[in-house]
Amino acid sequence: MTQNSYQPDVVRSVRPEVPGPSDEVRSTNRETLMTLIEQAGSSGPDESQTGCEPSPVLIDLTTEPNVAEVVATPVRARVLAFAAAVLVVVGLGAIVGSGFVAGDGDSILSADSSRDLNDASLMPGDVFAIVAQRAAQQQPPPSDLPVYRELAVSLYDDSRTEFETWRRADGSGYSRTIFDSLKPEEASAAEETATEVSDQDPGADDPKPLAEPEVFHEIYIEGDTGGGTNHKVSLGGEWLGSAELAELPTEPDELKTALLAFEEARPITSWSIPELRGESGVFFPALGLVQSSIASPELRSAAFMVLSDLEGVEIETNVKDPLDRDAFAISYNRPELEPLYQASFDAYNEELEDLYFETYGEEFPGGHDYGRTSYRSQAEVKFLFDPDTTAPLGAADAESFSLITESSWEVNVPKPPADAKYSLGEIYVGCVVVDGIDTFYDPSPGQQPLVEGPFDGKCPDLESVLADIAKAVEEGT
């Protein structure tokens, strides 16, 4: 008899031993719950708890990511097993429109939009169609923050990404990101087949991602590292804002000594590269200073000098970037590092195919990581800069992920764009099933999801839902 090597004990043997929650986490979570309990207590007994009817389940869509307000009214069509179609308007402004949206969008039926969806009593088994339309006006970020702009083009699929960051002196702030396509959450069968072709050695030509409908998305993120755009500089594992950077010496030798001290203090992690400690470890921190928008010109200049003095670093002038623009290059070539940087790249999933890598970056609508995946295929790395402004130009060759086509920062006080918005894209369509405990969301074919869900097929085809609802409304049922 064949021994099954995956008896529960084997699976249990790989159970991660994790520490329990910290006192702070436990206390915070308890406080959150107690606040809820107090609110429930002050509102009196919940009358829905009595009686034999199924208890209403309230869907609080306002807690979903990027949904600022939900205004809608469900209309029951029980005979069809569908409860309602609702219009969800996202944003802080007025309602853009409301009503049932059927089929091709030409037949818009009227509906009472006076009630908040959260007031609706959604019964187990109810199915709701949801249409989220274009975002309403969103209050722009504070305008007293200097702005850093950057426009990047992916050399894999020519998609464009535009970053604008309003930052505070400590490096925190807002980032505004506009990007022109979303990658598929999960590859289709055809894509999976095509992806297999890309499973080849590093350096080989991977197929480009399949074309996505070009849809522009725009989102604001606030974070303590400049909204995720790394406007703080990491030295020795610490994130430094402009106030801390201002204390660094601007004389190259002194700066190098300071950077070495930071690197010596850097904790050793399981994936630290031994060869990148000591003087070699100064390269990336110094490069970070050179590329930083919050380092002073004097500090950036000193960092340039530190870089040029490092073993393995070469400065090339009169080079061209992939757009044939004038540039100078800082390259770093350490042959002994070569094995450490070999990796293959899955252009479809934007993830390395090997396990020793994780994508990182902002979460965009649909839950996609986008535009922050980086990799090295060679020991030599090269970074390009504008010779006039010393602004980063990004990629030196087509193997790099993105090419910065514009970048600049200002020390005065620019105004953010007046049309700043939260936007979930053009239109999101899907339906929600209330099953008594939880909600499930399925997107309509060809649409991006508003809310991620298990996508377990619990929603019927949206077109038929909408058609049936339209029929039910027409018949007055």
Partner 1 sequence: MDNIEQLVGKSVGSPTVFAEVFDRYHDQIFTYLARRVGTDKAGDLASEVFTRAFRQRETFDPTLGAVIAWLYGIATRVLSEHRKAEHRHWKRLERVASIEPTGSDDFVAVDLRLDSGAKLERTLKHLSDLSEDQRDALLLVAWEELSYQNAALALNCPIGTVRSRVARARAALHEAEIREVCSSKMEPLANNRQVRVVQDDANLESGSAR
- Binding residues among 366-385 for partner 1 as defined by CB under 8 A: 367, 371-372, 374-376, 381, 383
Residue 55 sits in the site that holds partner 1 (CB under 8 A): yes
Quote the least distance from Cβ 333 to partner 1, whole Å: 15
For the segment 257-296, give every residue that binds partner 1 (CB under 8 A): 263, 266, 268-274, 276, 281, 284-285, 287-288, 291
Residue 41 sits in the site that holds partner 1 (CB under 8 A): yes
- The residue among 138 and 349 lying less far from partner 1, judged by its C-beta, is 349
- The residue among 87 and 450 lying less far from partner 1, judged by its C-beta, is 450
- The residue among 134 and 382 lying less far from partner 1, judged by its C-beta, is 382
Q: How many residues bind partner 1 (CB under 8 A)?
A: 93
**Near partner 1 by CB under 8 A, which window of 30-38, 169-177, 297-305, 463-471?**
30-38
**Near partner 1 by CB under 8 A, which window of 40-48, 189-197, 407-415, 418-426?**
40-48
Q: From its phi and psi, is residue 4 left (phi > 0), alpha (psi between -120 and 50) or beta? A: beta
**Near partner 1 by CB under 8 A, which window of 47-55, 89-97, 110-118, 465-473?**
47-55
- The residue among 131 and 152 lying less far from partner 1, judged by its C-beta, is 152
Site string for partner 1, 431-470 (x = CB under 8 A): -----xxx-------------xxx----------------
Quote the least distance from Cβ 298 to partner 1, whole Å: 20
For the segment 60-99, give every residue that binds partner 1 (CB under 8 A): none
**Near partner 1 by CB under 8 A, which window of 88-96, 243-251, 293-301, 340-348?**
340-348
Residue 169 sits in the site that holds partner 1 (CB under 8 A): no
User: Do 66 and 428 touch, CB atoms closer than 8 A?
Assistant: no
- The residue among 343 and 427 lying less far from partner 1, judged by its C-beta, is 343
- The residue among 133 and 344 lying less far from partner 1, judged by its C-beta, is 344
Quote the least distance from Cβ 459 to partner 1, whole Å: 15
- The residue among 305 and 467 lying less far from partner 1, judged by its C-beta, is 305
- The residue among 216 and 360 lying less far from partner 1, judged by its C-beta, is 360
Show the 3-state SS of the chain: CCCCCCCHHHHHHCCCCCCCCCHHHHHHHHHHHHHHHHHHHHCCCCHHHCCCCCCCECCCHHHCCCCCCCCCCCCCEHHHCECEEEEECCCCCCCCCCCEEECCCCEEECCCCCCCHHHCCECCCCEEEEEECCCCECCCCCCCCCEEEEEEEECCCCCEEEEEEEECCCCCEEEEEEECCCCCCCCCHHHHHHHHHCCCCCCCCCCCCCCCCCCCEEEEEEECCCCCCCCCEEECCEEECHHHHCCCCCCHHHHHHHHHHHHHHCCCCCCCCHHHCHHHHHHHHHHHHHHCCCCCHHHHHHHHHHHHCCCCEEEEEEEECCCCCEEEEEEEECHHHHHHHCCCEECCCCEECCCCCCCCCCEECCCEECCCCCCCCCCEEEEEECCCCCCEEECCCCCCCEEEEEEEECCCCCCCCCCCECCCCCCEEEEEEECCCCEEEEECCCCCCCCCCCCCCCCCCHHHHHHHHHHHHHHCC
For the segment 118-147, give every residue that binds partner 1 (CB under 8 A): none
- The residue among 147 and 286 lying less far from partner 1, judged by its C-beta, is 286
Residue 30 sits in the site that holds partner 1 (CB under 8 A): yes
Query: Token pair for residue 165?
Result: 């960051």
Residue 328 sits in the site that holds partner 1 (CB under 8 A): no
Q: Which residues pair with 152 in a beta bridge?
A: 161, 404
- The residue among 82 and 383 lying less far from partner 1, judged by its C-beta, is 383
Residue 390 sits in the site that holds partner 1 (CB under 8 A): no
Binding residue (CB under 8 A) for partner 1 from 83, 84, 155, 233: 233
